[in-house]
Amino acid sequence: MKTEVGRAAVWQHAEEADLQDVIRKIAAHFDIDDIAIHTPGKLSYVKEPPRKYTRTIQSLVAILLYTRTGIPPTHRQRPLKRDISF
């Protein structure tokens, strides 16, 4: 994966990904300190690389479906690390 750092690199990557107009609109309303753009095969950021994290989308979708439809989730949800004691 190609990684580039700096403001010019981010704007070049935004142009390649066709995100310049979106970033300008957001920057007009919010103060943007750091930005990172990730596309297949390329990553660019201004100050800090994006943090790695684990997504839990399946459980969020199950919770939303349960609250809206009343159908309980069919899969087993794992407990959080803080709830497990060794």
Write out pLDDT tens, residues 17-27.
Answer: 999 999 999 99
Residue that the structure tokens 């970033």 belong to: 23
pLDDT higher than 70, residue 46:
yes
- What's the pLDDT score for residue 43? 93
pLDDT 10s digits, 1-44: 899 999 999 999 999 999 999 999 999 999 988 999 999 999 99
Reported as half-sphere exposure (CB side, CA atoms, 13 A), residue 76 has a value of 2
- Supply the pLDDT for residue 86: 56
Write the CB contacts of 4 (distance below 8 Å, at least 6 apart in sequence). Answer: 10, 12, 13, 42, 43, 44
pLDDT value at position 73? 64
Residue from 50, 44, 1, 2 nearest 19 by CA: 44
